[in-house]
Chain A
Amino acid sequence: MTLVGVASTVSSALIRTRLSAWSLTAIAVGTVAVTVVLFAATPMQGRVAFLLFAAALYVTALTTVSALVEGRRRAKDRLVTSIVVACSGAAVLPLIAVLGFTIAKGTAVLSGSFLTHTMRGVAEQDANGGIYQAIIGTLEQVGLATLMAVPFGLLVAIYLVEYSSGRFGRFVSFFVDVMTGLPSIVAGLFIFALWILALGQSFSGFAGSMALTVLMLPTVVRSAEEMLKIVPDSLREGSYALGIQKWVTVVRIVLPSALAGIVTGVMLAIARVTGETAPLLVTVFGNPALNFNPFSGAQASLPLFVFSEAGLPNETAINRAWAAALVLILVVLVLNVVARVLARLVSVRS
């Protein structure tokens, strides 16, 4: 075969016919039409089933036509692209479903009186009652946990970035990773075993915030560590050159440069522990009445409230669970969105 012959085979393979946008539209319209007819003529029904069936039919038709016109390789490529699109849909759909369901169910019950009343003396089938005690409890528990975890986590991060060299630092870093994978219920059981069983203390908001601290720590350490690492060494060297001590350099120069990033990490950590239920179940226990004092006696919390109301075999109780879930989800999502917007603003400036 001559060189020209080879070149023409190659080029004919390269310019092989491709499906036009017009034919893709035609396939789509055809599949929808076939699905409509099938759903009208056979016992198949349901909106979800319709969408799934039409999508599957479209992909099958597209792949077949593509295989006939464009060849096997293109057909396979189109099939995989369809699968990737389907996967994205499958991942986004649950979020939309959960958010939509929570908003629809939650707004039906949510009201000013729901936010400002407690569940004291309210029976499970009564329509009144509210989550005031749970909001106070969650604010105090998460607030205390933040007060403990942030300075602690920052110091660990400073150690890892500014001081550690050698084996001990790697050891600490390794166990920060291990702590990240700690199931939240185990953190709760740890505080239960230590604080309540071994030390004989009672259930309290403080016990819950200790468990939350264990869960917040690795998140705070990792995010602060990342931020401290990207502070340029020239800042540190400039400070040393002026004869400033190392610790003053860290506190006055390095930390402020990384502040916005650290705040973002702390907010994400707060958002994470605000939704934690399992560790609070075994340390805070839950309480229908208001308990302002986080250091003594069982307290309520938003996620615990959702869990306990959801477990009741009663429609009004489950509706209360949805309303509390809506409040919880709003708090967590607002924290997340604000944290990410902040991160974006800062990264654009640097």
Chain B
Amino acid sequence: MSSTPSGENLDRRTRRRGDAIFRMLAQGSGAALLVIMAAIAVFLVLQAVPALNADTTSFLTTLKWAPDGTPSSFGIAALAFGSVLTSLLALLISVPVAVGVALATSHYAPRWLARPLAYVVDLLAAVPSVVFGLWGLTYLVPNIIAPSTSLNHYLGFIPFFASNGTYGKSIFAASIVLAVMAIPIISAISREVFIQTPRDQVEAAWAIGATKWEMVRTAILPYGRSGIISGTVLGFGRAIGETIAVALVLSANYEISLHILEPGGNTIAANIATRYGEAGEIGRGALIASGLVLFIITLIVNFGARAIVGKNSRGGAS
């Protein structure tokens, strides 16, 4: 068919065109992904600005949330405080447990048990957050009252455990639910790094007569530090962005209080879910503004995690 030179040229050109189109499609998809990320920032800002202009008080320092009131007044202070407090408490609970699970699945459990255990913990990540919220609401909240009362009774002199005598839908309960949701992330990432510990370091520890714990402390934990750190940061990102579970478990108020056992507290994400239905025009803009703050926090957290991991892995290699 392509015996003439011109025919051969034509054939080659159409073939190149197919390649060029496919390449453009693939590259265009990559570019479209960047456009989506940029659009998220742009449209959140665009829709937040009118509400921020209508706000008669300072957005960064106001505690209360009354954007549709006259005059409109709302601020991120109490919400941001609640988000950070619940997430940090969740990490306080979940990091030790998750590192323990990671050690169990990487070095402690026998082979026949390690795989199913890792699998079950992974399934924990698959349970929808609304189901965790429902469980927190109907099971955890009623059952947390007794331990909260004893914590307050014996440790009430510490400000965290002070209380006005009521317990239940508290920051403490929300943190436990968030901790359960963060465990699979932290343990999966820590485990990945633990099992990559150089074999000679482990063998060297055994060879000088170390017990298992001494081997873990001198070989695995120092090597796995970057994994624990990046897992923790990603777990923080998961906890601070969690909306529905917290909205179901917390009874919302807009105060800054360290009394984690008392009902009350709120987070940026949960506030969006609970106030969205009733929000008017300014109210919706205000919620978008709070979402923008959440977006910025998670961006900082993600960049931070990458920087830490990058630095540590370079340090580990040298």
Contact = CB atoms under 8 A, between A and B. Distances in A.
A193 B46 contact: yes
Given A183-B294, A184-B243, A307-B248, A247 B18 contact: yes
Contact of B241 (A86, A162, A184): A184
A207 interface: no
A159 interface: yes
Interface stretch (A24-32, A57-65, A129-137, A273-281): A273-281
Contact of A156 (B33, B288, B302): B33
B276 A186 contact: no
Contacts of A85: 104, 108
A333 interface: yes
A91 B288 contact: no
B241 to A, nearest CB: 3
A204 interface: no
Contacts of A156: 26, 29-30, 33
B139 to A, nearest CB: 6
The A interface is mostly helix, strand or loop, or mixed, namely helix
A158 B27 CA distance: 9
B104 A186 contact: no
B306 interface: yes
Interface stretch (B69-77, B115-123, B154-162): B115-123
A181 B237 contact: yes
A101 B139 contact: yes
A172 B33 contact: yes
Nearest to B180: A94
A9 B109 CA distance: 33
A175 B34 contact: yes
**Most A CB within 10 A of own CB, among B33, B96, B295:** B33
Given A155-B26, A156-B30, A159-B30, A177 B306 contact: yes
A181 B298 contact: yes
A349 B134 CA distance: 41
Nearest to A286: B277
B4 interface: no
B128 interface: yes
A84 interface: yes
**B contacts with A: majority SS:** helix
A329 interface: yes
A88 B273 CA distance: 33
A178 B302 contact: yes
Contacts of A74: 211
A87 B104 contact: yes
Contact of A76 (B213, B241, B276): B213
Contacts, number: 262
Interface residues of B, number: 88
B26 A282 contact: no
A242 interface: no
B37 A179 contact: yes
B84 interface: no
Interface stretch (A110-118, A163-171, A229-237, A288-296): A163-171
A217 B129 CA distance: 20
A311 B272 CA distance: 15
Contacts of A87: 96-101, 103-104
Contacts of B121: 91-92, 95
A91 B131 contact: no
B40 interface: yes
Contacts of A336: 123, 126
Contact of A183 (B39, B47, B100, B243): B243
Q: Which of A102, A155, A251 has the most CB of B within 10 A?
A: A155
B172 to A, nearest CB: 16
Contacts of B276: 281-282
A47 interface: no
Nearest to B176: A94
A310 interface: yes
A189 B134 contact: no
Contacts of A193: 43-44, 46-47, 288
A73 to B, nearest CB: 5
Given A186-B291, A247-B22, A278-B273, A88 B100 contact: yes
Given A84-B100, A87-B104, A214-B36, A77 B214 contact: yes
Contact of B295 (A99, A183, A214): A183
A332 B30 CA distance: 29
Contact of B128 (A174, A189, A274): A274
Interface in A308-330: 310-311, 318, 321-322, 325, 328-329
Nearest to B244: A277
Interface in B133-165: 133-135, 137-139
Nearest to A279: B243
Contacts of A250: 22
A92 B301 contact: no
B16 to A, nearest CB: 8
Interface string A69-98: 000011011001101111110111011011
**9 interchain residue pairs of minimum CB distance:** A87-B100, A275-B128, A183-B241, A247-B22, A159-B26, A155-B29, A278-B243, A77-B211, A189-B291
Interface of B: 15, 18-19, 21-23, 25-34, 36-37, 39-40, 43-44, 46-47, 96-101, 103-104, 108-109, 117, 119-121, 123-124, 126-135, 137-139, 180, 183-184, 187, 209, 211-214, 216, 234, 237, 240-244, 247-248, 269, 272-273, 276, 284, 287-288, 291, 294-295, 298-299, 301-303, 306
15 contacts: A76-B213, A87-B101, A95-B127, A97-B135, A98-B127, A156-B30, A171-B34, A182-B295, A214-B36, A221-B33, A248-B18, A275-B126, A275-B129, A325-B130, A336-B123
